[in-house]
Each structure stands twice: as structure tokens, then as C-alpha cells.
Chain A
Amino acid sequence: MANDWPLWEVFIRGQHGLSHRHVGSLHAPDAELAVLNARDVYTRRNEGVSIWVVKSADVTASAPSRKGPMFDPSNSKTYRHPTFFDIPDDVGSM
């Protein structure tokens, strides 16, 4: 039953050239079946060309309570944002 199965995070590459994006999670007994389950649950409408799965337990996350010290200091440092460049149209999506 799903209660015994580990949870897997699913990442799908929408098309060549783009990076894998997190799309959700699911249960599966092992990695191979997690890929097959991800194919059935998340790519029914031709959403992807590649799938990664990672055990949710293997993801180390930052603590929500540390949000302030982690992220607030960069708020006021606008000079770190590369917004002062004109990007030529030919570059496409960045």
C-alpha cells in the first residue's frame, strides 16, 4: 500500500533546452516504478521529454523559520540584480 511506499519528487523537462522543473510528488516502491508512475500521472498530455525522480527524504530544505536571516538581507541590494542591461531580442528567453 502507498503507506509503505516512499514519496518521490518529480521533475519534468518540458522541452529540449529547458531545465527540469518540479511538478509534484507521488508514491512508488522504487525509482524505476517512480519514473513510470510519473509518466502516467504527469505526462498524459505530452508535457515532457525527460523525467527525474528524487526521494523526498533525500531533499534537504531550508527551514521556513530561517526565512528572515536567509533571504531578507539581499532585498535591499539592488546592485546585485542585473536589471541594468539591455538584452538583445535574439537572445530569447533567459
Chain B
Amino acid sequence: MIEFLLRMGDNTLVLGHRVSEWCGHAPVLEEDIALANIALDMIGQTRMWLGLAGEVEGQGRDADALAFRRDAWDFRNLLLVERPNRDFGHTLMRQFLFDLWHHERLADLCLSADDRVAGIAAKCVKEADYHLERSTDLIIRLGDGSAESHARMQEALAALWPYVGEMFTDDDVDAAMAEQGVAPLPSSQRARFDTALQDVFATATLTRPESDFAHQGGRTGTHTEDLGHMLATMQFLQRAYPDARW
């Protein structure tokens, strides 16, 4: 159960921090505010997932302790969300692929046999619905935009596609969660994801890469070096000044 909660919370924590890196740097003011809002939504969701994880663990660790005092190998997020921002196209493509999966996932979790999980999912799903609407709109406009924006979106898709498969891989934790009715198997989402993806890409004039090769490991703690760099920045204050408050 705790592994499952960490996976949910670490996804939104890592992606929320990544998106927050745009704050003050986005191409236009409107996008800057929108990205900051989305980042804040995800950090808020993290509080709930990691808060519950700490409660279930029962060793006195709260959401802050889990976020700021764990090392990279203890993180259970998908490799997709730790990919660096690079350009705006990469950031938006990463967001779209995650949102499409995340929204479906939360919709499924609203029906969880565990009331606490269902409760958190019900709160998060509205935010995820908006995130998906926004990233879909932007993917369509940039994919079906100028020659340059189209090329950049297609390039971002090619770079991020190998990280999509991990979202739909089942392991022992997933099997146990499915057995207890907490969460359906990730693989059960794949068909819905592919259909929705195809619809958006058709309008956005983007081509889905052919290879379904998928990097694995994020959900069991084997991360890319990019996560370490990100955590070094994110966790600096609590590492240098433990229990600092203001």
C-alpha cells in the first residue's frame, strides 16, 4: 500500500517541481501563470498522497519528511516526469502524456475500495481534468501550427515516447493493489490511453512513434541522473538546515 501511495505522490511531486522550474521563465506571462498554477496543483496533490503514505507507514514521517529527506533511490515516480524541461515543446509534450494517463488513473481511483484513496482521487481528478484540457489544446495548436512548432513537437514526442510504456507496466505491487480493489492494473488503462492519444494526434497532425520500447525502473527506484540533480536543488534547504521553518 505504501509503495502505491509513494508512486502516486512522487509522480506529482517530481513533475510539480519540474514545472515550477519554469516560474519566471515561461515564454509569455499567461503561460507562466498557468504553469505555476499547474505546478501548485500537483504539489497540493502530493501533500495528500504523501501525507497518507506517512500515516500508513506509521513511523512519524509526514509529507514534508518524505519529500525532502529521501534520496533518489527511494523515489517511486515514473521516469517520464523527471525528464528535464528542455524547451517548451518538451515540457508540454511531457505534460500531455502524463495528464492523459493521470486523468484516467485518477478517474479509476475514484472507485477505489479504499475510502481514503477514493477521497484523494476525487479531489485531484477535477484538477487533472483541467490540466488535460489545457495540455491537449496546446499540443493541437503547436502540432498543427507552424512548420517549426510541428517539428519541435514531433521531436519532443520521439524523445519522450520511450518513457510512456512504463506507465502501463504491472508488477507485484500493482497485482496486490488490484487484488485488494485499491487500484486497477496499470495495463488495463493502455487501450483507453491509446484511443484518446490517437484522437489528439490526428487533430494535431503528429505521428505516433512506431517502436514501443519502454525504459523501466522509476517505479522501483532506479532513476536517471536527472532526478538526482533536481533533488539536489529541491531538497537543499531541508538538507542543509534540517527542520528549518519560516
Contacts and interface: CB of A to CB of B under 8 A. Distances in A.
Q: Verify that A and B bind, or say they do not.
A: yes
Interface of A: 1-2, 5, 26-30, 32-33, 36-37, 39-41, 44
Given A40-B37, A44-B37, A32 B30 contact: no
B196 interface: no
Interface string B111-131: 000000000000000000010
What DSSP secondary structure best describes chain A's contact surface? mixed
A2 B31 CA distance: 10
B141 interface: yes
What DSSP secondary structure best describes chain B's contact surface? helix
Interface residues of B, number: 13
Contacts of B29: 2, 26-27, 41
Interface in B10-61: 27-30, 33-34, 37
A37 B141 CA distance: 15
Contacts of A27: 28-30
Contacts, number: 37
Contacts of A1: 27-28
Contacts of B137: 32-33, 36
Contacts of A5: 28
Nearest to B38: A40
B212 interface: no
B190 interface: no
B28 A40 contact: no
A55 to B, nearest CB: 15
Given A29-B141, A32-B137, A37 B37 contact: no
Contacts of A44: 33, 37
Q: A2, A26, A39, A40: which has the most chain B beta carbons within 10 Å?
A: A40
A78 B119 CA distance: 59
B194 interface: no
Nearest to A40: B34
